[in-house]
Amino acid sequence: MGTRRSPSLPRWFQRLVLSRVWLSFLMLGLSFFGFGVGTLNLFYLLRANTSLVIENGWMALADGGGEQLLELLVTGYLSMAAYVVFKVCEYRLAHWLGDPPEDDGADGVEPDAH
C-alpha cells in the first residue's frame, strides 16, 4: 500500500492557471486586489500597534499588542504571497503578449537556420 504524492503547488499552479491566459488574467487581478487590501490593513495594524506600545509599554504587549503583532506578521506574509502570484501571472501574460509565436515546423517548412 503505497502513498500517493500530490503534485507540488508550483506545478499544479502552472498546469491549472498559467496554461490558460484568461485564468492567469483573473488571478492577476485577484492577487493585485488581495495584495492591496493586505498591505492597507498591514499599515493600519502597524500604526495602531506602534501607538499602543509607545503609550502603554510592556503592559500593552501583554494585553493584546503581542497578538496584534502576530496578526501583522501573518498579514504581511499573506500579502507577500499575493504579490508573488501577481508577479508570476504578470510574467506569463507579458510573455504571451510580447513574445512572437513559436514556429514548431508543423506546416512542413523548415525554419531558417542562420
Q: Model confidence over 26-50: pLDDT tens digits?
A: 988 999 999 988 888 788 888 888 8
Residue 104 has pLDDT above 60, yes or no: no
**CA dihedral over 5, 22, 31, 98, signed as positive or negative:** positive
Calculate the CA 106 to chain-centre distance. Answer: 36
Which pLDDT score is estimated for 70? 84
Which pLDDT score is estimated for 99? 78
Which pLDDT score is estimated for 107? 52
Taking a C-beta distance cutoff of 8 angstroms, is the pair 34, 95 a contact? no
pLDDT, tens digit, 9 for 90 and up, residues 68-80: 888 888 888 999 9
